[in-house]
Each structure stands twice: as structure tokens, then as C-alpha cells.
Amino acid sequence: MIKVGIIGVSGYAGVELLRLLLNHDDVEIVSIGARSYQGQPISEMYPSFYGICDMICESDDDVLKKADMIFASLPHGLSEKYAKYCNDHQKKFIDLGADFRLDKEQDYQEWYNLDYNEKELHHKQVYGLCEVNRDKIKEATIIGNPGCYPTSITLGLYPLLKEGMNKNNHFIIDSKSGTTGAGKSLSEDTHFPRCNESFHPYKLATHRHTPEIEQELSKMAHDDIHVTFVPHLLPVNRGIVSTIYVDLKDDIQFSDIIKIYHDYYDQEYFIRVLKTGKVADLKFVKYSNFCDISLHYDKRYHKLIIVSTIDNMVKGAAGQAIQNMNIMYDIEETKGLKMVSPSF
């Protein structure tokens, strides 16, 4: 059994980890931590756990000492010290925050206004996009779990970029997310009277996921990729829809695109390339670890339109983190993650 601990269990991604791990046959959850709720049972914060999991929230130190596999679901700037402890004590560490996603400290300084305090650790980090970096993840001890928007976008573009089918290196990306993507902290935008019956873009050209998106797409393309990334807030709890616009090379046919996507993804359990004419819809990925991708062709301008949908709390956070853990421990990758989205 894998002895697992969760630091930051009181947040949305942390409690989603707990919900999913309770169904994992190879996991024993030995400790959960929530600094603001230390000494309180998780079932008082989230009554859905009442009678199922009444574990008491302990200190972060307790979690670190008791567990061999540590998940940290914390705001940026807080995870390095926990990763250092795990590194020094031969424990595995998966960070659901932003501290181990960016390769360059300069990008972290620019977009998050912080420095790396444990610089040597960042030479060991692996970006945990499972379907792309599986071989590296197998050998990793520190994982930077991808952001939710980057997951939907990079999986949507991966086959196309690897095969060099894009005409230019600038993409327009229009993404919409449910309100859980903003986390549990209160804000004006996610206050119910403000977001209900509303729909609007936010952080236009300034969202912190931008450098992560460009970093990973550039690796896939072996060239510098630039994006105009515009996120929007949907008045729903969870789900992401990313619509991506790509100019195709003149000699590329739509049938070539369809074949390549099926070649890359037909053996990937969690990625579903939809039949031509179908449109990916967040309703059918909610509460699941699936990424649904639909491909559309604008023949007037020889442009590909990619729609990629995920549940931001599962494939975009807790589910992908567990998928990473499964790969790290060389167990069935789908363990604990085979749930199907409700149909209505």
C-alpha cells in the first residue's frame, strides 16, 4: 500500500484528492493537513465525508512524517520547503501548485513575483503531463502537476505540434473555466451575485498560466511558440472548454489531422478524440479524468479549430496528480480514476 498524505486538504483541489483517493485500492491515506483547520475533522468542513472519512486535520509536519507520498495543494510560494523535506527523506512529492511547473526562474519571478529558494530542487522537477512525459514521470521524485488551462491546451495541440502541421507559431486560445478554478478564497468575480447569470473574460493577456502554456508547447514543437491566451469565467462550478485556432500548412489536409490525432491518442485511456462532426462539451467530462477533443475545419481559411474539454478539478488538478502517482509507482495508470461523467 502507498502511504499517502495531503497537505492543503481544505482547498478545492485538496479535498478532490481526498475524494478520489478514497476509491484507490493501492492507497492508504495516513494523514491530512489543513493549517487553518488543524484539529478539526474533514467531515465538518465538507459534510459529504460524514461517516465515510472523519479524519482529523493534522499539522503539515505530521503529514510529512507519516506519509511516503506527499501531495501539496497550496498557493504558489509555499511548496518548496515541503519538497525539500521529501527530497531529503526519500519521499515522493507532487505539487498541485505552480512552484514546480516553470523551467526558468526568470519566468517565475516575472509572473509570480517570487524567487526560487531551493534552486537545486528545480533540476529534479518533472512536468507531470502524463500522456506526454510518462517516461520521465516514472523516474521522478518531484512532480509539478500541470495547471488546468495548460492541460486542456497542451493536450489539444500535442499531436499537431509534434508533427509540425502548423503554418505559424502564434496561436489564439480562448478558454472558459468554472469558478472552482479560482480556488476557495472569496473574490468579487466569484461571489454568487456577480458570477451567476454572467459570462466574461478576465486577466486578458496577463494570466499566470501563459508562460507555462508557451513553455510546454515550445517543447512539443522544438521551436518558440507564442499564444494570445484569453480565459473566461463561466457561471458553473467546474469544467474547462478551450477553443484553439491554428493556421495549417498549405499541404495539410483535414483528413491528415484526424489520422494523426487518432494515431497519438487512440491508446490513451483518458483522451477521447471525438468523431468528426461532434463537439466536445464540458458536461460529458465533469467529475471524470477524461480530456475530450473535437477537431473542426474552416475550409475558407484553411484553419483548424480544436476544442479541448476537461474537468478542471480532476484532469486539471487532483485526477492528473493521482495519474502521476500511479505512473511513479508503476501501478495501473487508471487505478482510482475510471469514473464516468454523469450524462445529465
Q: Which residues are designated catalytic?
A: 148
CA angle 216, 266, 100 (to 5 degrees): 25
Q: Which of 65, 11, 55 is nearest to 32 (CA)?
A: 55
Q: Which of 326, 281, 129 is nearest to 337 (CA)?
A: 326
Residue with cell 480532476: 314
Q: Which string of DSSP letters, residue by residue, matches 154-181?
A: HHHHHHHHHTT-BSSSEEEEEEEE-GGG
- Distance (Å, whole) CA 333 – CA 326: 5
Q: Which of 308, 157, 164, 153 is nearest to 248 (CA)?
A: 164
Q: Is 221 within 8 Å of 157 (Cβ atoms)?
A: no
Sign of the Cα torsion 312, 315, 318, 320 reads: negative
